[in-house]
Amino acid sequence: MERDPVSRLIVISNRVAAPQPEGEGGAQGGLAVALSAALREYRGFWFGWSGNRIEEFTGKIDFQRHEGVTSATIDLEEQDVEEYYNGYANRTLWPLFHYRIDLAEYDRSFGAGYERVNERFAETVYPLIEPEDLVWVHDYHLIPLGRQLRQRGVANRIGFFLHIPWPPARLLTTLPDHEHLALSLLAYDVIGFHTREWLESFQNYVERELGGRCDPDGWIHVGDRSVHAAAYPIGIDYREFSEAAASEAARSACERLRKSADGRRTIIGVDRLDYSKGLEERFLGYRRFLEENAERRGEVFLLQIAPPSRGEVHTYETIRETLDELSGRINGEFAEVDWVPIRYVNQGYGREDLAGFYRASNIALITPLRDGMNLVAKEYVAAQDPDDPGVLILSRFAGAALQLKDALLVNPYSKEEISDAIRQALAMPREERVRRWRSMIETVRSEDVVWWRRRFVAALAGEDVEAAGSARA
């Protein structure tokens, strides 16, 4: 998509999309996929951590060009990775922001490492920023970066987008130094959330804890600072995904799964192996379905693709062990010589394979306990056969539920609701499936990743946001 090069866009995030080694496509996460597309549209570059660890931080930048996107990456020290990425980002903020204060760890060394790495990012990137550049910072790893850049004299427009939920004020106040973290956000010009729910939690926090004022037009005022905050629900790259779904590789993946299903109905789940995804509860809900519907055993199976993630964090080791044990137990309990109820797969797949698997599946079971958005739900919808689409069962606690209202929405904590929804999906007449799908595909197609980034970048550039389309979420 050509556009006037009015200004460059500089994207900054912890991870920078890199060519994925064979078989690891599924582990990349929605953020990386969405931003590659954004950077192809604008000039500029993408700055972040290389994923490498070195003995002593040098600040050396490695520039690379891949598929039309320039990336600029730095290496971090072992201690940085431990305190900033494994520590504050993934042991403190990730669980807290997903409402799991029982799993959140508060440790001063994590907070110090988080600030230090944000300073390192700022120190390295600020000489590369030109006066007219728009700067777009992403996700919970880099909340203080805007403040760090301002302290170095960066006067550009800087935006921040949070790809995960913003927790309710009463949870956030359990974080020591929560005011410091939240006040950092006031250094930005625009703050984006996926849904109104996360935005409202933020506004509520600002009013209760910071004594700020939130105007109905999105302006937030705290002391002498004003910042614009709004909901910008992210979408999939619909065009690119449709092409992937129409590829030969997708067709053969679809055929492969259909053949192995051997006339059985397939229920699919695809998630990073993360406790926020509700995999344990999902398995238990499916188990309840098998228990209550003995006559349907042998007619269906659950294909759960769950590539391991953040393996150095012990809560992730624990959830992995729990799922190994639970899937084994359910299979042992219900399997027959010629049927296994759960195919539990710990590897990631590329987009084309996934598109084929989605199309071959009668039901998608996507039941995170809490999720900023969830793009798998949208990809599943995009991959369906318009004449004979599958059924999406979706957690009401995923951001996507606010847009995909025609999915079967369930409470992911309830085994009964999951079991009932599977039964309802299996019995759903084609007419109803088509009706629900048509309404969902309309949203997936029109509120895609291009729509998302245009709205955000328009706001960042100070243009009329509503002219770029209004949000339903």
CA distances in angstroms from 341 to 30, 45, 265, 269, 328, listed in the order given = 29, 46, 11, 13, 10
- Supply 24's token pair: 């690891």
- Supply 335's token pair: 């399997």
As a whole number of angstroms, the distance between CA 355 and CA 374 comes to 16
The yes or no reply on residue 454 touching ligand G6P (CB under 6 A) is no
Whether 371 is a known active-site residue: answer yes
189, 353, 371, 448: the catalytic one is: 371
> Which residue lies nearer to ligand G6P by CB, 30 or 111?
30
Cβ-closest position to ligand G6P: 29
- Half-sphere exposure of residue 66: CA atoms within 13 angstroms, side-chain side: 13
As a whole number of angstroms, the distance between CA 91 and CA 101 comes to 10
**What residue type is assigned to position 319 of the chain?**
I
The yes or no reply on residue 271 touching ligand G6P (CB under 6 A) is no
The yes or no reply on residue 98 touching ligand G6P (CB under 6 A) is no
Among 34, 69, 164, 449, binds ligand G6P (CB under 6 A): 164
Whether 178 is a known active-site residue: answer no
* Least distance between ligand G6P and beta carbon 219 (Å): 26
In sequence order, the 6+-apart residues with CB closer than 8 A to the CB of 106 are: 92, 174, 175, 176
> Which residue lies nearer to ligand G6P by CB, 163 or 455?
163
98, 138, 141, 163: the catalytic one is: 163
* Parallel/antiparallel/unpaired status of strands 300-305 and 265-270: parallel
* Parallel/antiparallel/unpaired status of strands 213-214 and 300-305: unpaired
Residues 348, 377 contacting (CB under 8 angstroms): no
Residues 367, 412 contacting (CB under 8 angstroms): yes
* Least distance between ligand G6P and beta carbon 135 (Å): 17
Among 309, 327, 374, 403, binds ligand G6P (CB under 6 A): 309
- Supply 141's token pair: 């790893």
The yes or no reply on residue 30 touching ligand G6P (CB under 6 A) is yes
Among 77, 139, 271, 281, binds ligand G6P (CB under 6 A): 139
Stretch that binds ligand G6P, among 26-34, 142-150, 207-215, 409-417 (CB under 6 A): 26-34
* Parallel/antiparallel/unpaired status of strands 219-222 and 213-214: antiparallel
* Least distance between ligand G6P and beta carbon 313 (Å): 9
Count CB-CB contacts under 10 A for residue 213.
13
> Which residue lies nearer to ligand G6P by CB, 146 or 389?
146
The yes or no reply on residue 7 touching ligand G6P (CB under 6 A) is no
Residue tagged 């993934």 (tokens): 90
The yes or no reply on residue 378 touching ligand G6P (CB under 6 A) is no
**What residue type is assigned to position 434 of the chain?**
V
Residue tagged 């508060």 (tokens): 106
The yes or no reply on residue 310 touching ligand G6P (CB under 6 A) is yes
The yes or no reply on residue 15 touching ligand G6P (CB under 6 A) is yes
Among 25, 29, 218, 298, binds ligand G6P (CB under 6 A): 29
> Which residue lies nearer to ligand G6P by CB, 45 or 161?
161
Stretch that binds ligand G6P, among 23-31, 279-287, 356-364, 437-445 (CB under 6 A): 23-31
- Which residue numbers are catalytic? 163, 371
Interacting residue ranges for ligand G6P, rule: CB under 6 A:
15, 29-31, 139, 163-164, 309-310
